[in-house]
């Protein structure tokens, strides 16, 4: 039994060690210019929260959620901004940057000549994307607590959820990137991302849409992410968010597998 | 030097890309401590072969074993013991010269402290010590090549694969690279390289194969190949007249082979001076006469032709 299990364990530890070396490379590549970019990813959702959540919210007043909970408009918008910033942070790293590294910097052509394999590259890049996404999420949760849009205990519960959101979108973005032919294709992705940002129950409850549209909205990943984080930060009771967790885990696994498989095809020519 | 155990064994190795067959069933054996060369014009299948040996390109057919292992199943274990210097530098432009080595070492699971020590040592070896903290971008082509070679050595590999290690370098840089590769060879590192520079092959390779159109057309040591496919000496004759063609027929009996080029005639002979004397005896008066030793270049052009294959 030991003889059967041990090589597997060694395999897993070697694989995670190799993934970590890919993450480590990104830490080494961090430069001062990059910091500005990092900060912009945090400032953007904050500006939305202040302008729309607080500003427009003053005109709208309070909202009643399907569970019956009554919340201010800012408290309604804040979790959605958290979910979208987790999405944006993860996507920025796993689409533009990942694509550039693979196609133009030919970075992975050098990496695959070492023991590191495509799946490990994907995992390492994703872990890096998540370090970035998680930093945004943590900062944003602090802002939410300070602005009294959620309770500290709820913010603690929402943090791992935001990390999961980032992981799922990161994996999805990476899988999509392996199908991209040039930078032009990313325009399409940016548009899709913006549409998701507008209609995923972010600024308007999905219940306000006509039934068919509402179903459509409810199967999109950002809606599930918003739903999950809203449930944890402001809503009361209910377990429907466990469905969101399952959904996001599925997206994560599928994205990672597709990305690794496509990378294998593209790199092992 | 062919007494070592075989490190690379290929039988009937094939690589196809769609309908195109890049490598068409080659047999190769490289032994420990050897410097082995793949020679051939562009498109001969050298790089495809190198990528299969480097375990980053699965073979389409045939048998391939590297360090006694299967490249598809044991890829990571094999690559852990290879050093690869690809044809096009793929250094990390976001890292410094030193970080390129330390980060690469981490891909092999080498501890940070060891990686740092090795980076310093290797930068000295390729004479880049004073550029350690520079970015990669401003480096010259020769410096990038040397850094890529240093990177290929960071895991202290058993086999170093070099795909056209000196293409595009100026003479000074080429000689520096050759000198470093020669030192590696003396340290007992097995070198496998591709090149289309004959002087490079003659300088570095114990044994080589000539590839053309995905097949091996000749195999042996540089000396043996010259003896078999060229002659000891070559006489180059240049006639003043417009066409060299007119004189060629008269020279046929002179050597083993006569080749007519637009600007001169090559006569492949065992003894150059004797052949020149015979030319004079025939009453021919070439404007220019050159006697030289047969070279690998003669072998190469004889086997793969003079036509451009690009």
Mutation target among A110, A118, A128 for the B interface, most CBs of B within 10 A: A110
What is the ipTM metric for this complex? Answer: 0.83
Per-residue model confidence (pLDDT) at position B216: 94
Give A 114-153 residues with CB within 8 A of chain B.
Answer: 114-117
CATH number at residue B257: 3.30.70.980
Task: Kindly state the average pLDDT of the residues A104-125.
Answer: 93
Residue B221 has pLDDT above 70, yes or no: yes
Q: Find the mean pLDDT for residues A141-154.
A: 91
Alpha carbon B88 to its chain centroid, in Å, reads 15
Q: For residue B231, what are its two tokens? A: 């002659």
By CB atoms closer than 10 A (0-12, 13-18, 19+), residue B65 is middle
Q: Are B11 and B62 in contact (CB under 8 A)?
A: yes
Q: Which pLDDT score is estimated for A177?
A: 93
By CB atoms closer than 10 A (0-12, 13-18, 19+), residue B87 is middle
Where does the pLDDT of residue A163 fall: very low under 50, low under 70, confident under 90, or very high at 90 and above?
A: very high
What per-residue confidence (pLDDT) applies to B293? 87
B214 has pLDDT over 90: yes
| Mean pLDDT, chain B, integer | 89
- Shared domain for B274 and B183, answered yes or no, is no
Classified as helix, coil or strand, B83 is: strand
Predicted confidence (pLDDT) per residue in B109-146, tens digit: 999 999 999 999 999 999 999 999 999 999 998 899 99
For residue B55, is it within any domain? yes
How far out from the chain centre does Cα A148 lie? 24
Given B220, B244, B269, the domain boundary residue is: B220
pLDDT number for residue B264: 86
Residues with Cβ within 8 Å of A126's Cβ and at least 6 positions away in sequence, in order, are A94, A167, A170, A171, A174, A256
* Average pLDDT score over residue span B254-269: 85
Residue in A17, A113, A268 nearest the CB of B58: A268
Greater pLDDT, B43 or B28 = B28
Does residue A27 belong to the interface with chain B, where contact is any CB pair within 8 Å? no
Average pLDDT over residues A30-56: 78
pLDDT of residue A54: 85
- Same structural domain for residues B110 and B157? yes
Q: Look at residue A7 and tell me whether its pLDDT is greater than 60.
A: no
How many angstroms separate the CA of residue B176 from the nearest CA in chain A?
Answer: 23
pLDDT score, position A39: 76
Check residue B169 and give its pLDDT: 83
Per-residue pLDDT at B1: 46
Residue B306 sits at the vertex; the CA angle it makes with B304 and B310, to the nearest 5 degrees, is 80
Mean pLDDT value of segment A77-102: 89
Among A76, A87, A41, CA closest to A220: A87
pLDDT value at residue B248: 76
8 A C-beta contact, residue B20 and residue B36: no
Please tell me the predicted confidence (pLDDT) of residue B246: 74
What does the pLDDT read at residue A8? Answer: 54
Cross-chain residue pair B103–A109, CB shorter than 8 Å: no
pLDDT-derived band of residue A52, with 50, 70 and 90 as boundaries?
confident
Give the C-alpha separation, B255 to B237, whole Å.
Answer: 13
- Residue B123, in any domain of the structure: yes
The helix (run of H) or strand (run of E) holding residue B20 is strand B20-31
Q: Best mutation site among B47, B54, B82, B94 for testing chain A: the one with the most A CBs within 10 Å?
A: B94
pLDDT at position A33 is: 59
> B21 and B64 share a domain?
yes
The interaxial angle of helices A221-233 and A185-199, nearest 10 deg, is 40
Distance CA B192, CA B34 (A): 8
Confidence (pLDDT) at B75 = 92
Rounded to an integer, the average pLDDT of A125-150 is: 88
* One domain for residues B176 and B39: yes
CA distance A97 to A125: 10
What global pTM score does this model have? Answer: 0.85
* Cβ atoms of B81 and B155 closer than 8 Å: yes
Verify that B44 and B79 share a domain, yes or no. Answer: yes
Structural domain includes residue B151? yes
**Residue B75 in contact with partner chain A when CB distance is under 8 A:** yes
Residue B308 is assigned to a structural domain of this protein:
no
B107 and chain A: CB distance < 8 Å anywhere? yes
* Cβ neighbours of residue B294 closer than 8 Å, sequence gap 6 or more: B226, B230, B231, B232, B233, B234, B268
In a domain, B185, yes or no: yes
**Residue A6 confidence (pLDDT):** 53
Q: Find the closest chain B residue to A103 by CA distance.
A: B90
Within a domain: B225: no
User: B92 and chain A: CB distance < 8 Å anywhere?
Assistant: yes
Provide the pLDDT for residue A1: 46
A10 confidence band (pLDDT: 50, 70, 90): low
* 3-class SS letters over B187-212: CCCEEEEEECCHHHHHHHCCEEEEEE
Number of domains in chain B: 2
Indicate yes or no: CB of B56 within 8 angstroms of CB of A268: yes
What is the distance, to the nearest Å, from the Cα of residue B125 to the centroid of all Cα atoms in its chain? Answer: 22
Together in a domain, B136 and B13: yes
Q: What is the CATH number of the domain that holds B122?
A: 3.40.50.300
What residues contact residue A166 under an 8 Å CB cut-off, 6+ apart?
A86, A87, A89, A90, A129, A130, A133, A134, A137
pLDDT band at B2, cuts 50/70/90?
A: very low
CB-based contact A109 B109, cutoff 8 Å: no
- The whole domain housing B276 covers 231-294
Residue A64: the pLDDT is 85
Which residue of chain A comes nearest to B80, CA vs CA? A115
Q: Which residues of B touch A116 (CB under 8 A)?
A: 76, 107
Distance CA B195, CA B166 (A): 8
What CA–CA distance (Å, rounded) separates B299 from B303? 6
């Amino acid at each position: 039994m030991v003889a059967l299990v041990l090589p597997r364990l060694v395999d897993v530890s070697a694989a995670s060690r190799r993934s970590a070396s890919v993450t480590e490379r990104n830490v080494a590549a961090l430069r001062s210019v990059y910091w500005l970019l990092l900060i912009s990813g945090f400032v953007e959702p904050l500006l939305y929260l202040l302008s729309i959540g607080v500003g427009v919210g003053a005109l709208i007043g309070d909202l009643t959620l399907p569970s019956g909970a009554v919340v201010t408009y800012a408290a309604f918008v804040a979790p959605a901004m958290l979910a979208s910033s987790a999405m944006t942070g993860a996507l920025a790293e796993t689409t533009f940057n990942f694509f550039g590294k693979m196609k133009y910097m030919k970075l992975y052509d050098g990496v695959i000549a070492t023991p590191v394999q495509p799946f490990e590259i994907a995992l390492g890049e994703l872990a890096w994307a998540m370090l970035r996404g998680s930093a945004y999420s943590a900062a944003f949760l602090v802002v939410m607590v300070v602005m009294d849009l959620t309770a500290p205990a709820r913010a603690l519960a929402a943090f791992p959820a935001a990390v999961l959101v980032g992981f799922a979108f990161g994996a999805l973005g990476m899988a999509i990137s392996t199908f991209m032919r040039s930078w032009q294709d990313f325009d399409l992705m940016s548009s899709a991302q913006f549409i998701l940002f507008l209609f995923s129950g972010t600024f308007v409850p999905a219940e306000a849409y006509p039934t068919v549209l509402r179903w459509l909205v409810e199967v999109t990943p950002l809606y599930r992410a918003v739903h999950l984080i809203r449930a944890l930060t402001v809503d009361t009771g209910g377990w429907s968010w466990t469905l969101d967790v399952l959904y996001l885990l599925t997206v994560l696994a599928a994205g990672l597998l597709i990305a690794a498989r496509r990378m294998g095809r593209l790199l092992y020519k | 030097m062919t007494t070592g155990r075989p490190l690379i064994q290929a039988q009937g190795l094939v690589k196809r890309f769609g309908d195109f067959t890049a490598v068409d069933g080659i047999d190769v054996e490289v032994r420990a401590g050897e410097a082995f060369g793949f020679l051939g014009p562009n498109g001969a299948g050298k790089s495809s072969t190198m990528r299969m040996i480097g375990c980053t390109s699965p073979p389409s057919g045939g048998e391939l074993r590297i360090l006694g292992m299967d490249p598809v199943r044991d890829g990571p274990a094999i690559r852990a013991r290879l050093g690869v210097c690809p044809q096009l530098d793929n250094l990390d432009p976001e890292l410094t010269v030193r970080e390129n080595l330390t980060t690469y070492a981490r891909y092999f699971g080498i501890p940070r402290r060891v990686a740092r020590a090795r980076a310093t040592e290797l930068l000295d070896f390729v004479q880049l010590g004073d550029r350690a903290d520079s970015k990669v971008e401003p480096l010259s082509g020769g410096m990038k090549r040397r850094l890529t070679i240093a990177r290929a050595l960071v895991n202290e590999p058993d086999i170093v694969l070099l795909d056209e290690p000196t293409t595009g370098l100026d003479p000074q840089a080429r000689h520096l690279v050759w000198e470093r590769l020669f030192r590696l060879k003396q340290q007992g590192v097995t070198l496998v390289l591709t090149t289309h520079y004959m002087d490079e092959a003659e300088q570095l390779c114990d044994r080589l194969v000539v590839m053309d159109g995905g097949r091996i057309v000749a195999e042996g040591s540089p000396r043996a190949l010259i003896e078999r496919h060229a002659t000891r000496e070559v006489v180059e004759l240049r006639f003043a007249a417009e066409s060299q063609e007119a004189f060629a027929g008269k020279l046929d009996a002179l050597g083993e082979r006569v080749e007519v080029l637009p600007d001169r005639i090559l006569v492949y002979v065992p003894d150059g001076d004797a052949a020149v004397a015979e030319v004079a005896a025939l009453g021919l008066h070439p404007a220019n006469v050159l006697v030289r030793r047969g070279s690998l270049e003669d072998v190469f052009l004889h086997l793969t032709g003079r036509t451009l294959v690009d």
